[in-house]
Amino acid sequence: MVYAIDRSVITKTGENGEHLSSVSATYIQAREIEQAGVTAGMRVLEVGSGGYNAALLAEVVGADGAVVTVDIDPDITARATALLAETGYGDRVRVVQLDAAHVVPGEELFDAIIVTVGVWDVLPAWLSQLTPEGVIVVPLRMNGVTRTIAFRRDGDRLVSTSTEVAGFVPMQGDSARPERILRLPDPQGGVVSLRFDVGVPDDPRLLDGVLATGRSEAWSQVEVAGSESFADLYLWMAGFLPGFCLLHAEEGTTLSAERGWFPFGVVRGDSFAYFAFRPAAGGSGSELGARAYGPHGEEAAAAMAAQIRAWDRHARRGPAPTFAYWPAGSGGPGEASGNVAVLEKTHGVFTISWPAVS
């Protein structure tokens, strides 16, 4: 496991089996170091400790640089401290037990901050510790969809310089932002769970018994080839489709037995729809669309199909989206125009901009 570059090693599990800490997959560590542009002589803060990534950072910054790694969990900092000492990095990395929602005491500014835990917002403590030219790399959750984004300052806002797809364990402590889960029992047995980041339904009881109601579907006429990645379609939905949620269907549910569904959905009052595909009419590839449950399922499925068409028209063949963040107290993004999704966060406003397709 340790030598598999694309696997993380779980180092701590919670009471309910949830992953609390891991040593990230080595390709993710390498990419974050690259995204942050870490070079010799830099001062770097790592949020979330394991030991190994801090040792890599110590090698990159060299004797003239500095590496500080913080973790909220005393078991993790104790382990990292011991392993770093054993492997000769004891005096090259400072390990601090701290909730990273707070400033690291006794430190100057950092040239790079690498966050290795999934977060919902860019925290003021981090920006207050970053040099004016510094880079911060954060795995940011945007309505349930996470991208690891490198940001640099541009006036009073942050602008993205690179983006990667990667998953991390969620942030704990004062800035934790757990998702809300709605569990829908299937009359066949098992449970379908809907996970909301924002936009939790006002009255979740409206969905009671929804899996026992009639089904409907809507198709978009948008076709994809087997080899095409459409990961950005989820990001498009997360930005533009109100009621967007993640979906998990337990074994035994009707949904889990169905081939051709994706773990994303949308709720409209007493109904919900989920992403689906079927063989394209022409014979090759698949057509994207939505299937739904509930009295207004058709409406929910149609809303999803409409956004699939919008993604196809405005984003699918264009350049990748860019991201910006306006901390509270800065000018803010103003009136959004074009294909810009605006997400309100606790400490600022975040935008996802899809460049026009030429």
Ligand X SMILES: C[S@@+](CC[C@H](N)C(=O)[O-])C[C@H]1O[C@@H](n2cnc3c(N)ncnc32)[C@H](O)[C@@H]1O
Q: Which residues bind to ligand X, rule: CB under 6 A?
A: 20-24, 29, 46-53, 70-73, 76, 99-101, 116-117, 168-169, 171-173
Give whichever of 115 and 352 is closer to ligand X, judged by the CB atom.
115
Least distance from C-beta 323 to ligand X, angstroms? 21
Give whichever of 74 and 226 is closer to ligand X, judged by the CB atom.
74
Residue 135: how many other CB atoms lie within 10 Å: 24
Give whichever of 47 and 224 is closer to ligand X, judged by the CB atom.
47
Containing 24, the helix (H) or strand (E) segment is none
Dist CA 287 CA 116 (whole Å): 36
Three-state secondary structure readout of 189-248 = CCEEEEEECCCCCCCHHHHCCHHHCCEEEEEEEEEECCCCCCHHHHHHHHHHCCCEEEEE
Dist CA 325 CA 26 (whole Å): 28
R_g (Cα) of the chain, nearest Å: 22
Residues 6 or more apart from 35 whose CB is under 8 A from it?
A: 135, 137, 148, 150, 161, 162, 164
Query: Environment class of residue 88 by beta-carbon count within 10 Å: exposed (0-12), middle (13-18) or buried (19+)?
Result: exposed
Look at residues 266, 292, 271 and name the one whose alpha carbon lies nearest to residue 208. Answer: 271
- Coil, strand, or helix at residue 334? coil
Catalytic residue among 21, 22, 24, 175: 24
Least distance from C-beta 99 to ligand X, angstroms? 4
Give whichever of 55 and 249 is closer to ligand X, judged by the CB atom.
55
Give whichever of 73 and 197 is closer to ligand X, judged by the CB atom.
73
What are the angstrom distances between the C-alpha of 108 and each of 35, 44, 137, 313?
Answer: 22, 10, 19, 48
**How many Cα neighbours within 13 Å face the side chain of 47?**
30
Least distance from C-beta 85 to ligand X, angstroms? 16
- 286 noted as active-site residue: no
Give whichever of 102 and 215 is closer to ligand X, judged by the CB atom.
102
What is the rounded end-to-end Cα distance, in angstroms, of the chain? 44
Q: Which residues are catalytic?
A: 24
